[in-house]
Structure 1
Amino acid sequence: MGVLNQNDLQFEYSWSILESNDPQVIEPYDSTLLNRNEGYDVITFLNHFARTYSLSKENALKAERFIKYYMPQDINKRIDASRWLIDNLESHELEERHTTSAQG
């Protein structure tokens, strides 16, 4: 079981299953494209990322926000998205806090 389930996600996604984005079919994982609008792609990516880097549920949800708000649109492979998150999660921490406190 993953760190996150469908009900945990913070944004609305499409939940259609196509063979091309079915997690059971995708190989190799790192070279596949991440469809940021497809819930199954996002949750599979976030759970894999969380398992790989031993992230808590809170940090996996933070990664979801970073994908939504900060990740450049030209990053679309899972491996590149993982690298970007690793490089940027800590450096955007103050900006994330400011955005969250301004909304609350």
Structure 2
Amino acid sequence: MANFNKSALKYNYQWALPFKSKRYIYITDDDVIDRRNGYHVLEFINHFLATHGLFSFEFFRKLEIMICRYLPESLITRREICDWLRKNWNTRF
């Protein structure tokens, strides 16, 4: 299973918001992912990688860049983000 940590992230995130750092014990498609919250982004990327059988650091970096730079702001749930990432995985930005 992919299990990258904070040091793998390239972009700056907020880490000191305990009420927003909720870790999802039961992951659902309707979970809201706050892209400014490092805990949410890190957990989302690790889960996405594991679900899709991707384990390399290059895939980790690609996901982070897609999420931080290209993902439309209007997409906030796990389902919406996953759908967009799958649809745009081979797109050159």
Normalising by structure 2, we get a TM-score of: 0.86
**What secondary structure does 1:23 align onto?**
coil
1:10 is aligned with what amino acid? K
Name the CA distance, whole Å, in 1 between partners of 2:65 and 2:50. Answer: 18
> How high is the sequence identity, in percent, across the aligned residues?
30
1:13 is aligned with what amino acid? Y
Shift of 1:2: 3.6
**What secondary structure does 2:29 align onto?**
helix
Bigger Rg, which one: 1
Match of 2:91 in 1: 91
Shift of 1:30: 1.7
After TM superposition, the structure 1 = structure 2 runs for residues 1-104 of structure 1, keeping only pairs within 5 Å, are 2-15=2-15, 16-18=17-19, 21-24=21-24, 27-55=26-54, 56-92=56-92, 95=93
Instruction: In structure 2, list runs of 5 or more residues that go unmatched.
Output: none
2:32 is aligned with what amino acid? L
Match of 1:98 in 2: none
Q: CA RMSD in A?
A: 1.7
Conservation of the 8 A alpha-carbon contact between 1:3 and 1:50: no
**What secondary structure does 2:18 align onto?**
coil
Name the CA distance, whole Å, in 1 between partners of 2:24 and 2:86. Answer: 25
Query: How many residues align structurally?
Result: 91
1:45 is aligned with what amino acid? F
Runs (4+) of structure 1 moved beyond 2 Å?
Answer: none
Normalising by structure 1, we get a TM-score of: 0.78
Higher relative contact order (CA 8 A, sep 6+): 2
Name the CA distance, whole Å, in 1 between partners of 2:70 and 2:24. Answer: 28
More helix, by proportion: 1
Instruction: In structure 1, list runs of 5 or more residues that go unmatched.
Output: 96-104
